[in-house]
Chain A
Amino acid sequence: EAEVAQSPRYKITEKSQAVAFWCDPISGHATLYWYRQILGQGPELLVQFQDESVVDDSQLPKDRFSAERLKGVDSTLKIQPAELGDSAMYLCASSLAPRAGAYEQYFGPGTRLTVT
């Protein structure tokens, strides 16, 4: 069964360092989402791609976060510099198309980030 791949699974970094996460969506899924999940809360969208274009990055802290999906396939989310408040689970999801709710989103295992 096809799955969304993410790496690394765990990352510990010091404050002010740079960190990057990678996501490979299910083959053929045009839409890719990055969510952040703080401990004890539900996930919140950071950025959404349709193919290689950003559809929604309204909740992305653009002073320190960046995301790209250059060829419309895999994607990288970067934080520079990391802050203590960035400690969270970063989840990647993909779906066939963006039409709201028409397709379920499939989630990867996540990257658990700890900033010390």
Chain B
Amino acid sequence: AQKVTQAQTEISVVEKEDVTLDCVYETRDTTYYLFWYKQPPSGELVFLIRRNSFDEQNEISGRYSWNFQKSTSSFNFTITASQVVDSAVYFCALSGLYNQGGKLIFGQGTELSVKP
């Protein structure tokens, strides 16, 4: 079975603070992909990043960075110097190679509120 757990339901920070969103996953697949999506109040899911299970290098994109650790089955997301525009619900998702359809298994989401 595949499962994604985002234990943090809500996080509130003050602008310019750094914040880390946790994601823990379960899968029997040896080859799989992990994703992060952002959902602003408008409702549309915005793709942020995709990683495959063979690439454990951390990635940085501007203020965003991702830490993938297979040993702990985690794929955490850090926003540096948060801004009000970062306020949204963030979803971590998993897709397994043997789940041939490419279906995404989403976590429950973490609602991030950045206050000025």
Q: Are B108 and A41 in contact (CB under 8 A)?
A: yes
Partner of B44, one of A35, A45, A55, A109: A109
Q: Are A43 and B101 in contact (CB under 8 A)?
A: no
- Chain A residues 14-54 with CB under 8 Å of chain B are 31, 33, 35, 40-45, 48
Is B95 in the interface zone, CB < 8 Å from A? yes
* Residues in B neighbouring A99, C-beta threshold 8 A: 100, 102
CB contact under 8 A between A101 and B45, given known A42-B91, A43-B104: no
Partner of A41, one of B35, B96, B109: B109
The residue on B at minimum CB distance from A48 is B101
A69 to chain B, nearest CB (A): 14
Total inter-chain residue pairs, C-beta < 8 Å: 80
The residue on A at minimum CB distance from B97 is A100
Q: Are B109 and A104 in contact (CB under 8 A)?
A: no
Chain B residues within 8 Å of chain A by Cβ, number: 29
Partner of A110, one of B33, B43, B99, B108: B43
User: For A35, A101, A106, which residue has the most chain B Cβ atoms within 10 angstroms?
Assistant: A101
Partner of A48, one of B47, B91, B103, B109: B103
Is A2 in the interface zone, CB < 8 Å from B? no
A15 to chain B, nearest CB (A): 23
In the bound assembly, the distance between CA atoms of A112 and B39 in angstroms comes to: 14
Q: Are B33 and A100 in contact (CB under 8 A)?
A: yes
CB contact under 8 A between A43 and B95, given known A98-B100, A101-B50, A109-B43: no
Is A113 in the interface zone, CB < 8 Å from B? no
Is A67 in the interface zone, CB < 8 Å from B? no
Is B80 in the interface zone, CB < 8 Å from A? no
User: For B4, B98, B103, which residue has the most chain A Cβ atoms within 10 angstroms?
Assistant: B103
